[in-house]
Chains A and B, each alone.
Chain A
Amino acid sequence: KQEVTQIPAALSVPEGENLVLNCSFTDSAIYNLQWFRQDPGKGLTSLLLIQSSQREQTSGRLNASLDKSSGRSTLYIAASQPGDSATYLCAVRPSNFGNEKLTFGTGTRLTIIP
């Protein structure tokens, strides 16, 4: 059974700093990994999707990397801003045919201190 872990559970950093969020998964048989952002009581906003054949994806100040063999992904946020405060979730999609469900990590609650 796939298990996804995110460490730390919570992180506070001053505005302007660069930061890294970690995601690890136990089963490397995945199609892709998605990073999401969730504001309190709100829906999930897809930030980046990185395919199993890719090493990294970039979107603006965000950069996601994937090391499938070691079961790890990182989300790098550059020049953090107060508006980046949210919970960040990673989710993996298994590679076996017909299995489409995402397995989520428990999230990292990020607070950017102005």
Chain B
Amino acid sequence: AAGVIQSPRHLIKEKRETATLKCYPIPRHDTVYWYQQGPGQDPQFLISFYEKMQSDKGSIPDRFSAQQFSDYHSELNMSSLELGDSALYFCASSSRDRGPNQPQHFGDGTRLSIL
């Protein structure tokens, strides 16, 4: 079965640079979520989108923005990168139209390293 696809798998940037992470949800999933997992920490929710509209917002810095496109893929844009942004960034998807008790399925993540 098709899973959530994230690209790139690894990304190395320097401080103050920008980065764009991409997420392709499972086909027919309408909701996308972004999480950040720092070293040795549990994943923290950043933001989610349903049908191309922001549906919930967590601890996402103002330097970050995200959107969901008409084909349901999503991009997380990160600017003025800081050392503390080094983390594993996960995208997850689910099908909200099938009800609230649908599991969130996660991609393999993008490992972002800031030098």
A-side residues, CB < 8 A to B, are 31-32, 34, 36, 41-46, 49, 51, 89, 91, 93, 95, 98-107
Contact = CB atoms under 8 A, between A and B. Distances in A.
Interface centre among A31, A102, A103 (most CB of B within 10 A): A102
Given A99-B56, A100-B33, A107-B42, A49 B103 contact: yes
Given A41-B111, A43-B108, A46-B103, A101 B58 contact: yes
A32 B101 contact: yes
Interface in B79-115: 88, 90, 92, 96, 100-101, 103-109, 111
Given A31-B101, A32-B101, A42-B108, A100 B56 contact: yes
Interface residues of B, number: 26
Contacts of B107: 43
Closest 10 pairs (CB-CB, A-B): A101-B45, A43-B108, A104-B42, A44-B106, A49-B103, A51-B101, A31-B100, A46-B103, A106-B42, A43-B109
Given A102-B33, A103-B45, 9 more contacts: A43-B90, A45-B106, A46-B104, A89-B42, A95-B100, A98-B56, A101-B45, A102-B43, A105-B42
Contacts of A46: 103-106
Contact of B104 (A41, A42, A98, A102): A102
B48 interface: yes
Contacts of A99: 56
A34 to B, nearest CB: 6
Given A43-B109, A106-B42, A107-B42, A100 B101 contact: no
Contacts of A45: 106
Nearest to B105: A46
A32 B99 CA distance: 12
Nearest to A47: B103
A45 B105 CA distance: 7
